[in-house]
């Protein structure tokens, strides 16, 4: 029982740590930069650029009405949380990679949900680009979600399944 409690404590720390790091970086950006200000960190590669994204990933739905976005993101957030919970419950109790992936995704999802509830949009600031070609700006929560999903996909793709005995034909 102690092992299970320790495991859940570690997973909760990953999720809460992700949320705290995400929110702290966003507060720092909002307090130290002007909206749309960009500070080059690695010239022609990476800048800190303060933007607000009212839409979904890559700005999808950004031009939709506030009411529609509120309903859409509310329903998708609930759906995502239920899906994450279902996946988590179905994982083997010793599946650390799967559980840590879910914890990171959950922390990222909650981090962005907090922005949507407080500001009606998400604070983004990590801006990678090459000359004039920009990857859409993102934040710590987006990174946690992306890394968690990638790890989960790779983990499930290469997970060894236990195969039961083959039934013999009469």
Q: pLDDT for 92-102, tens place per residue?
A: 888 999 999 99
Closest CA to 139 of 38, 33, 18: 18
Task: Indicate which residue of 22, 115, 124, 127 is catalytic.
Answer: 124
pLDDT (tens digit per residue) in 88-143: 888 888 899 999 999 999 999 999 989 988 998 899 999 999 988 989 899 999 99
Q: What is the pLDDT of residue 63?
A: 65
Angle at 7 between CA 108 and CA 11, to 5 degrees: 5
Q: Give the whole-angstrom CA distance, residue 47 versus residue 127.
A: 5
pTM for the whole structure: 0.84
Q: Which contiguous run of DSSP H or E holds residue 5? A: helix 2-32
User: What does the domain layout of the chain look like in residue ranges?
Assistant: 2-154
Q: What is the pLDDT of residue 22?
A: 98
Tell me if residue 115 is catalytic: no
Token look-up 């705290």 returns: 20
Q: What is the pLDDT of residue 94?
A: 86
Residue 76 has which token pair? 């998708």
Tell me if residue 142 is catalytic: yes
Task: Indicate which residue of 22, 115, 127, 142 is catalytic.
Answer: 142
Q: Give the whole-angstrom CA distance, residue 52 versus residue 72.
A: 18
Are 151 and 108 a contacting pair, CB within 8 Å?
no
């Amino acid at each position: 029982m102690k092992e299970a409690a320790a495991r859940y404590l570690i997973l909760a720390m990953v999720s809460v740590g992700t949320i705290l790091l995400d929110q702290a970086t966003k507060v720092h950006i909002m307090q130290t930069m002007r909206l749309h200000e960009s500070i080059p960190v690695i010239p022609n590669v990476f800048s800190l650029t303060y933007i607000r994204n009212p839409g979904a990933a890559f700005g999808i739905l950004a031009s939709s009405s506030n009411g529609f976005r509120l309903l859409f993101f509310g329903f998708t957030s609930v759906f995502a949380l239920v899906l994450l919970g279902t996946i988590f419950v179905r994982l083997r109790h010793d599946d650390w990679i799967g559980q840590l992936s879910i914890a990171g995704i959950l922390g990222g999802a909650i981090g962005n949900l907090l922005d949507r509830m407080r500001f009606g949009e998400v604070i983004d600031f990590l801006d990678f680009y090459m000359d004039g070609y920009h990857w859409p700006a993102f934040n710590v929560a987006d990174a946690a979600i992306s890394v968690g999903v990638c790890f989960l996909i790779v983990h499930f793709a290469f997970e060894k399944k236990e195969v039961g005995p083959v039934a013999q034909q009469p």
